Amino acid sequence: MSVEMVPLGVEDIKVILDERAWSPRLLDAHTLRCTLDSEAGEIRLVVRHAGPWLYLAVLPFLDPVELKPWGAGKFPPRFLGRILAVNYNLTLVKFALDDDGDLTLRAELPTESLQRDEVEIALDLLVGVTQQYRIPVRDALLDAGRATERSSLLPPAPASHPPLPADDAMDPELAIELHEVTVDLASERPPKT
C-alpha cells in the first residue's frame, strides 16, 4: 500500500515554528519571520515557501551597524575566501550574499517530498551554526578589514604588461621572450626504469 505524501505548506511551517515558541510573524502569504534571542545575539530567521523550494535564512547574519564600513556588498578580499572555506565544512546550511550584498546563512529545501524532520533539522542547523560562527565570522571580517587598512611590507606587484613607451603606444615589448623549440617532440620516450 502506497502512502501519498502531502507537501508541507506555509501553515505547516508556521505550526513547526509555533511549537518551538518562536512566535512567527506572517510577512506575506508565503513568508514567515521569527526573531530569536540567543547567546550570539538576536537571530532574525526568515522562512519563505516559494512553490518548489523552501528557503530558510538568518538574515542578515551579522549586525550591519557593527561592521561599518564593511557589508552591503563591500568586503575585504581575504574575508570572502574565508567564508568559502567555512562553507566547505558545513552541511545543508551555507553562507551566501543576499540581494543587498549582506552576509546571510541559508538552507534551501525542495518541497516536492519535504518532510517535517528535514525542516526541523534545517532550523536547528541555522540556529546552531549562527550561535557557533557569528562571533568568529565577525572577528574574521574585522581582522581582514584591518589587514586591508595596513600598508603592506611587500613591494607592489609588477604589472602584467611592461609600461608602453610614450612615443610608441601600439608596440609593447614582450613580457616573456620566446625561443625556438629545443626538444624534438617526435622522438621516442625514454624507457621506464
Contact 50, 119 (CB under 8 A): no
The third-level CATH classification (topology) of the domain covering 10-149 is Yope Regulator; Chain: A, (3.30.1460)
List the chain domain ranges. Answer: 10-149
| Of the candidates 106, 105, 103, the residue with the CA atom closest to the CA atom of residue 66 | 103
Q: What confidence tens digit (pLDDT) does each residue in 144-174 have?
A: 877 765 554 445 555 555 555 555 544 444 3
pLDDT band at 129 (very low <50, low <70, confident <90, very high): very high
Count Cβ neighbours within 10 Å for each residue of 39-77 and write b for 16 or more, e otherwise. ebbebbbbbbbeeeebbbbbbbbbeeeebeebbeeebbe
Q: What is the pTM of this model?
A: 0.72
CA distance 45 to 128: 12
Q: What confidence tens digit (pLDDT) does each residue in 61-100 have?
A: 988 777 777 777 788 878 888 888 899 999 999 999 888 8
